[in-house]
Chain A
Amino acid sequence: MTEITDLSLEELAKSLKNKQFSAVEAGRAFISKINRAKKLNAFITFDEDRLLKSADQADKNIKGGAASLLNGAPIGIKDIILTKGMRTTAGSKILENFVPPYDATVIKKIAAAGGLVLGKTNQDEFAMGSSNENSYYGPVLNPWDTSRVPGGSSGGSAVAVAASLAPAALGTDTGGSIRQPAALCGIVGLRPTYGRVSRYGVVAFASSLDQVGVFARNVKDCALMAQIISGHDALDSTSAALAVPDFTALASKPIKGLKVGIPAEYFIKGVNKEVEDAVRAAIKKIQELGAEIVEISLPHTEYAVAVYYVIAPAEASSNLARYDGVRYGYRAKGVKDLSELYRNSRSEGFGKEVKRRILIGNYVLSSGYYDAFYLKAQKVRSLVAKDFFTVFKDQCDVIACPTTPTTAFKIGEKTDDPLQMYLNDIFTIPVNLAGLPGLSVPCGFDSGGLPIGLQLIGNLWEEEKLLRTAYAYEQATDWHKKRPRIGEG
């Protein structure tokens, strides 16, 4: 029999419902696996007793005949998402001892679907990073090669799912923080349309770009999780008052006749040859499955990273002004007055990358630079978004391209050059600027055995077409069945 930890989320929920094993037994299996894979550093906070207690309650519910979608399956939660009574750090020292007094809406939705909080996964501090090296709690290791990064910022969630430490996990995606680590870890990652999922109770980084999404080892599980967490929330005024489609049912609809656009601007110098070959082979496969391939152009792609590194830091510098050591979070010791309390608490509590972005943000928003940087970036953001809406109007249904220009890089390789690190997100950032849904699905391995991701981008509210395309492709290939052999111990 397949180990409990290797079951898909769908299989796990079904086995729990059929009482093949209890939620407590499943919880124990994950605890044991997580303890054996500690060196990956996928979790920041992991509370065995709490997990087993909630699993015991789930078992009672099942015995009482209360079937749900998840039946006590435990889900990994990125540590930027508030969990009542369970420490939430956002990867930062400044929130090292923060225990939220309430749950994020997505946590309530998972609980309502019968899911449990497995643990809080590691991440770049405040989701600022592409390698998980900016975590105060140490880097996460890529299970395919532990000398390499898992991607970021949701690196812990991606590794937990890839290494079977969790059947599925939540992440957030502000500039690629779900799709990029999904690609680098060989799993499926979905960032839904901006507004599809409530951001209530999610620590804010860049509010016009942030969105909660999901990781899973196959497309159907990803669809199931997306369905569970989606929907309007009165507590988040940017969440859309739209009905949530039945993503799991829609995922298996055929893709015949679907128009898939291939943007020339995503196949440029700087993209690793093996990555390009794997993505082109995947596109050919999708064509064989009945989709129509069309060449498209998204001419403002090259400006997206520049736009992002004005807008995201600007929003972050405002959002992070709240950390002042007064109401919650880290407070510096031995200060003489209030202004020193603010300064020292922030200076001791924030890490290097966070400070860098606060400085950029406050600079581009400051008097004399606002028009040249911030307003200019907002205008070019319009152009980047318009590129997408033009092609979705009458040229294609879905866009296919690489998720990342390269496979996982070495730990420490880019830490001294922030700009090189930022450029790693060149293919994921445009999606966030336009507010679109994006998905990464495994499409091969390079000669070093590192996973490669195919990115699918859809029009607003059309996650269903991404899931459908990814599912058809996944069913026709074996990439998702390959799992890393992690050196345990």
Chain B
Amino acid sequence: MSTKETNSETLSLDEVNRIARLSNLVINEEDAKKLTHQLNDILGYVQQLSRLETKNIEPMSHAQSSSNIYREDSAANTLTTEEALENAPDRSGNFFRTPLIVEG
């Protein structure tokens, strides 16, 4: 259970900040530094996978092979509008309300 894998610095601080932006997360400078170190540790450990030859191996995307499952397109009782809006942080009538999206 060694954690001393290749541990090369795969990820730079700039990249961590870029991924955070893509993830819609704001991370302060101190946390970003710590995260860079931790993510490099984890990704360094993950890199042991490259030792395995997998050229002819099928990727496994799910625990069970499955195919599309169809049903009749029929009406059924699901959540009411009121139920769907029950947890809205802000609403206006039957709509979810958000701050300004586009300057009008």
Residues in chain A within 8 A of chain B (CB atoms): 97-99, 101-102, 194-195, 208-209, 234, 237-238, 240, 268-270, 300, 302-303, 305-307, 309-310, 317, 324-331, 335-344, 346-347, 350, 355-356, 358-360, 362-363, 366, 372-373, 375-383, 385, 405, 417-420, 422-423, 426, 432-435, 460
Contacts and interface: CB of A to CB of B under 8 A. Distances in A.
* Size bracket of the B interface: 35 or more
A452 B59 CA distance: 35
B91 to A, nearest CB: 10
A366 B16 CA distance: 12
B96 A326 contact: yes
Interface in B31-83: 35, 38-39, 41-43, 45-50, 52, 54, 57-64, 66, 69, 71, 79, 83
Contacts of B49: 303, 306-307, 310, 376-377, 380
11 contacts: A324-B24, A327-B88, A336-B99, A338-B98, A347-B27, A359-B35, A360-B42, A363-B15, A363-B19, A366-B19, A376-B50
Given A208-B62, A338-B98, A381-B60, A358 B25 contact: yes
Given A327-B87, A359-B39, A238 B66 contact: yes
Nearest to B7: A419
A418 B41 contact: yes
Given A303-B48, A306-B45, A346 B25 contact: yes
A381 B59 contact: yes
Contacts of A355: 23, 25, 27, 35
B20 interface: yes
A97 B58 CA distance: 43
Given A341-B98, A360-B39, A382-B60, 19 more contacts: A237-B66, A238-B62, A303-B52, A306-B45, A309-B42, A327-B84, A327-B88, A327-B96, A337-B99, A337-B100, A338-B98, A339-B24, A362-B22, A377-B49, A382-B58, A383-B54, A418-B41, A419-B42, A422-B42
